[in-house]
Structure 1
Amino acid sequence: MPVRTLAAVVVVGVAAALLSAASLSLAGAATGGGSGGAHDVDDGNANSTSPPEGPTGTVEVVRVVPNPVAAEDRGESVTLSVPPGTALGQFVLDDGEQRVRLPNRTVGGRVTLTADPDAVRNRSGAGTTDSDTDAVAGPPGTGAIVPVALSALANGGEDLQLLVDGVVVDSVGYRDAPEGAAYRPEVGSFSPLGATTFPVRATGNASATAYVLPDAPEPPVAALREANERLLLAGYTLTSERVADALVAATERGVRVRVLVEGGPVGGLTHAEARTLDRLVAAGIDVRLVSGPHARYAFHHPKYAVADDRAVVLTENWKPSGVGGNGSRGWGVTVRDDETAAALARTFHADFGARGARSWSAIRPTRGEFRRTDGANGSYPTRFEPRAVPVEQVRVLVAPDNAERAVVRRIDAAEESVRVLQATVGGPDQPFVRALVRAARRGVSVRLLLDGAWYAREENRAVARALNERAASEGLDLEARIADPRGRYGTVHAKGLVVDGETAILGSLNWNNHSARENREVVLTLRSRGAARYFGRVFRADWRGGAWRLPVGLLGVLLVAVGGALSLGRGIEFEARENEDGAAVAEDRVGW
């Protein structure tokens, strides 16, 4: 049974002296999430304005392919996103040298304009005729293909404008187009052709279980063990024997099991992972790795699973130090909801069926190519039990498609508080961090907690110092700290935040441009006060380096002092709030 602790704000001098003698510091405690109004913001780049409204609604240029892998750049294209029933003929595309009137077609959704429809279709198989638009449906991400006499798009760069009656409704510019890549204006960078362009998927009410690691290693594996029809597991690495046991048991009872992991993790594949993947293949499981020249992303870095109608999304890898509870601080959630599971399954199948996903049996390296690692064997207490929470809305985010802009927009909509736990960030000028500074300048209380492991300590200290100096110079309610595990976990590996005490965001997205723009990542946004409260309490404990527990002797002295103060008629105000493990922790008067 946890030792019940007493936390108080004591306004008598003797109690304050005792607290000082116990070397406790509450002055720097973080302020917590309040109850702001619900925000379901539109997705978009928070650092740019939305396209103006045209006669038929919002129209955007969403993709430009100036340098396809084909002779003479055959298949150059510009993709638009237009509202249903749009008369395409009202638009003019201007590249600064030539204006092209678009064909008189009625279209909707994504429309790809090109002078060579066959070349565009051949990027990924034949297209089909769309009788409603008199256009041709193309490969994923292109939508309907419409022949247009486009002038050549310069590989070195172009500035394009889309006009209606001489009025610019959208514009886009790119520079130095790499071969075989598509420029995506919403993130301002190129992605390999064939990369998905999924929108944010929003679902309705759902039930969920929130948990943290290393405290609760059972929930993510429990979902795998309970699958009856399908089990799709995606990850960066996979070495957990418990997870492998669950996958093998599932396939033995007739569940359709598929596994997709990264084929070239930093440092290379390990002997432990090779053994795990060999075992899965021997059990009849289709195991594929994202690797080779046709891989669409720098790294396949998500950590999620789809088990029937349940979606498991984690910040941790499928290995002992992650889901095994033997090391890192991580966040996780299991959502029971058909729509959320379907959205993740779409992402999985898009990646599993891509050309860059190759069978483990076909590409398995020789034994000498694997590296050896020491297995994680840490043991940590359970301080935070899993918690069932109702969810008003789930939003499925994926990178590089939409996660960066969605997270930035949610921070930009914050009204009261933002609490962020990350291993590292890309620096004080990284877009996510800039969003935190903007929030603080609006009067939002902002806290950023970073990992204190030896390999990240100096970098994180520099970031924290820069942010804290900025906060001091501008008078902002913004503070960054380095985490102190105090035996409760090994290192910080979580990638999560809590906004306004009503929204929790967690997943594999690291706060750097490489992760947001070049990796495959998966994130869930939960509009749920229950989830926000749960992860907020964990953050609060980690921010303070653990709940304050008074030694029994000191507690007795404090009670005597309190009794004496009361006998003198002096007022003492106590604020006690139970943590998730049932222990009361000190409540900072600045407010959480």
Structure 2
Amino acid sequence: MARSIAAVVFALLLLGATASATATAAAAAPAPTTATPTPPSPSPPAAVATAPKSPAASTGEPTAPRIVGLLPNPVADDDAGEYVYLRLPAGNWSLDDGEDVVTIRQRQPGTVVVTADPGALVDTPDGCVVARGLALSNTGERVVLRRGGANGTVVDAVEYGRAPEGERWARGGDPRWRPVGFDPREPVSLGAANATAFVLPDAPGEAVVPIRAADDRVLLAGYTFASERVADELIAAHERGVSVRVLLEGGPVGGISTRQAELLDALVAAGVEVRVVSGTRARFRYHHAKYAVADDAAVVLTENWKPSGTGGGDSRGWGVTLRSPRVADALADLFRADAGWRDAVPWERYRAGRSFEPVEAATGSYPTRHAPADVRAEHVRLLTAPGNAESAVVATIDDAVARVDVLQPTVDDGSLLASLRRAAERGVRVRLLLSNAWYVAERNAALVADLNRWADAADVPFKARVAEPSGRYGKVHAKGVVADDTALVGSLNWNPTSARENREVVVALEGEAIAGYYRESFEADWRAGGGRWDDLPPAVAVAAVGAVAGAALFVRRRLTFDDSAENDGIDRPGPIG
């Protein structure tokens, strides 16, 4: 019946449809600039301090004097704990902001933290601490480093605008402003690994296999959690003596469901440690990573730990289990870093006094058309965001010479989409398959029409489609890439928030066998779409997809089956699951 309705809508819209596309824009906090300006009239020294010998700086040649970082706006009363971080050769130096001056006698090369509140420092940089400081302005100012005293030669200066609360400025950082407690990681090269590649909803049991077999440790990281089956496996592991820890997002878009709250209560009651990333000191916009470590195995997913995701009740997703101590240890190290900061709050403390919303769980049932496969990953790299995932994905696509296939809920204009355009312009065959979900269908149809129109005009091998599940799954939720013989699997959505503000985890899996597995799944999903909207005029295609999405939304509201609470507002500043 649904197909008949869609066919009627489609036929009517072919007679004449119009559509308009909207665009959104985001503004980022301005980054400080560095300069060597003309020295201003000096102010009288506010304090003079002698930097003690620093163990971290006891060897090595002198380096150029620099303002390395600063924290003007800590999350603290009266900005207690603000600092300026310096790298100094031996000698006499002064630091001023046009009002106050701190003079430093540096005995040997090293790093120095200048602060008026040593006891209030949090996440202190390495280096000796000078217990005097400037009153840094939250709205922006100019900080000047001089050789000698207040009348000395200017050797470095930093001018910054409004300082984001709880973020520090780092010279050479990308981005310059970083949350306190967060340091970007480099990609981690982890060698070869035996792997089980799988897709969802076809193989809902695969994600819990390593948890069920664990006898030492289980570390589970996620965005949302609503799987009773996974909760039961975690409790069973704890009861047989396994160390079990869980880390989730404390403020997902749409809020925490009653189901999730009840399951987390049960985990804590059984003795499992559960923490959620939340609060004004949070290092990430969202903790959106989806992975687990079980002894020497690691599971990396595009899907949430919930019935619609790992339960196989709705979403098309990708997953991989990597049997490698190196991969497991690398993810365990990431987990410890993310769970060990003060923004990772114990669940029992977080949930006190909060209310939660009931959300029905997904109950879809789908055939197993693409079975799991044991394959070899010839080389594995661990990518994370913020920090390196975006640039690594772009580099992987830029290195492709034959073909690139991308499966995403939706994409924003930016460096990732630009890399696909560049690939097509140099002759690489590019295919982009976007989600059919009701909350992005119309937007994706407009994007597909624009991209295909560009590809036709430029005469490049680029094709985009909106997915059509054809009874094989409910909606596309995967975030995957296959570029030649490299597959990328993980939680990274193609938008600036995901790439630059969220905690995301992606594994780059190199090897013909493992890349071939995901390309085969992509190929089947691509063929199932059949390009029903491909040859329509853009306005007609957008309106047609929009009407079908509207009908789907009406049905969804009448018959609730999707438990993806985070998807209830695509225009809201959050991840798409």
TM-score (norm 1): 0.69
Q: Which moved more, 1:402-411 or 1:376-385?
A: 402-411
Q: Are the aligned partners of 2:72 and 2:79 in contact in 1 as well (CA < 8 Å)?
A: no
How far off its partner does 1:286 sit? 1.1
CA distance in 1, matches of 2:137, 2:261: 45
For residues 285 and 69 of structure 1, do their structure 2 counterparts lie closer, same or farther at Cα, with a shift above 3 Å needed?
A: closer
How far off its partner does 1:147 sit? 6.2
Q: Which of 422, 430, 434 is the equivalent residue of 2:418? A: 434
Q: Deviations over 1:347-367 (max 9, x none)?
A: 211222221222222232558
What do you get for the CA RMSD once the two structures are aligned?
3.8
Q: Runs of 5+ in structure 1 lacking a partner?
A: 1-54, 81-86, 125-137, 163-169, 549-592
Is 1:517 the equivalent of 2:500?
yes
Q: Deviations over 1:451-497 (max 9, x none)?
A: 01221111111222222222222222222110111111100010110
How far off its partner does 1:532 sit? 0.9
How far off its partner does 1:62 sit? 8.0
Q: Are the aligned partners of 2:435 and 2:441 in contact in 1 as well (CA < 8 Å)?
A: yes
How far off its partner does 1:210 sit? 0.9
Q: Are the aligned partners of 1:89 and 1:103 in contact in 2 as well (CA < 8 Å)?
A: yes
1:57-456 to structure 2, matched below 5 A, reads 64-69=70-75, 71=78, 75-78=82-85, 113-116=112-115, 119=118, 122-124=120-122, 139=124, 142-144=125-127, 175-183=161-169, 185-188=172-175, 190-365=177-352, 369-426=355-412, 429-456=413-440
- The residue aligned with 1:530 is 513
Q: Are the aligned partners of 1:187 and 1:517 in contact in 2 as well (CA < 8 Å)?
A: no
SS in 1 for 2:334: helix
Q: Are the aligned partners of 1:504 and 1:535 in contact in 2 as well (CA < 8 Å)?
A: yes
Q: Deviations over 1:262-308 (max 9, x none)?
A: 12222211121122112111211111122222322221111111101
CA distance in 2, matches of 1:101, 1:282: 54
1:433-582 to structure 2, matched below 5 A, reads 433-499=417-483, 501-545=484-528
For residues 306 and 424 of structure 1, do their structure 2 counterparts lie closer, same or farther at Cα, with a shift above 3 Å needed?
A: same
SS in 2 for 1:279: helix
CA distance in 2, matches of 1:102, 1:431: 46
How far off its partner does 1:341 sit? 1.2
SS in 2 for 1:215: coil
For residues 247 and 74 of structure 1, do their structure 2 counterparts lie closer, same or farther at Cα, with a shift above 3 Å needed?
A: closer
* Matched residue type, 1:424: T
CA distance in 1, matches of 2:214, 2:434: 35
CA distance in 2, matches of 1:288, 1:402: 25
CA distance in 1, matches of 2:207, 2:445: 33
* Matched residue type, 2:526: W
CA distance in 1, matches of 2:393, 2:144: 28
Q: Deviations over 1:157-211 (max 9, x none)?
A: 689999xxxxxxx999864321220246553353321123322221112111111
CA distance in 2, matches of 1:72, 1:326: 48
CA distance in 1, matches of 2:192, 2:207: 21
Q: Are the aligned partners of 1:209 and 1:389 in contact in 2 as well (CA < 8 Å)?
A: yes
For residues 454 and 147 of structure 1, do their structure 2 counterparts lie closer, same or farther at Cα, with a shift above 3 Å needed?
A: same
Q: Are the aligned partners of 1:117 and 1:145 in contact in 2 as well (CA < 8 Å)?
A: no
For residues 286 and 148 of structure 1, do their structure 2 counterparts lie closer, same or farther at Cα, with a shift above 3 Å needed?
A: closer
CA distance in 1, matches of 2:94, 2:378: 42
Q: Runs of 5+ in structure 2 lacking a partner?
A: 1-60, 146-155, 532-577
How far off its partner does 1:150 sit? 9.8
CA distance in 2, matches of 1:159, 1:101: 19
For residues 380 and 68 of structure 1, do their structure 2 counterparts lie closer, same or farther at Cα, with a shift above 3 Å needed?
A: same
Identity %: 49
* Matched residue type, 1:478: F
For residues 322 and 154 of structure 1, do their structure 2 counterparts lie closer, same or farther at Cα, with a shift above 3 Å needed?
A: same
How far off its partner does 1:58 sit? 14
How far off its partner does 1:511 sit? 0.8
SS in 1 for 2:472: coil
Q: Deviations over 1:295-351 (max 9, x none)?
A: 222211111111011111100000011011111000001111122111111221122
**Greater length-normalized contact order (CA 8 Å, ≥ 6 residues apart):** 1
Q: Deviations over 1:477-528 (max 9, x none)?
A: 22211011111110001011011x2111111111111111221111111122
Number of matched residues?
460
* Matched residue type, 2:261: A
Q: Deviations over 1:397-454 (max 9, x none)?
A: 221132222222222332322211100112xx22211222222223322211100122
For residues 218 and 546 of structure 1, do their structure 2 counterparts lie closer, same or farther at Cα, with a shift above 3 Å needed?
A: farther
For residues 359 and 146 of structure 1, do their structure 2 counterparts lie closer, same or farther at Cα, with a shift above 3 Å needed?
A: closer
For residues 328 and 172 of structure 1, do their structure 2 counterparts lie closer, same or farther at Cα, with a shift above 3 Å needed?
A: farther
For residues 397 and 118 of structure 1, do their structure 2 counterparts lie closer, same or farther at Cα, with a shift above 3 Å needed?
A: farther
For residues 312 and 57 of structure 1, do their structure 2 counterparts lie closer, same or farther at Cα, with a shift above 3 Å needed?
A: farther
* Matched residue type, 1:123: L
- The residue aligned with 2:8 is none
Q: Are the aligned partners of 1:310 and 1:336 in contact in 2 as well (CA < 8 Å)?
A: yes
* Matched residue type, 2:505: V
CA distance in 2, matches of 1:173, 1:544: 55
SS in 1 for 2:480: strand
Q: Are the aligned partners of 1:398 and 1:522 in contact in 2 as well (CA < 8 Å)?
A: yes
1:42-57 to structure 2, matched below 5 A, reads none
CA distance in 1, matches of 2:233, 2:366: 23
CA distance in 1, matches of 2:437, 2:373: 28
* Matched residue type, 2:371: E
How far off its partner does 1:101 sit? 12
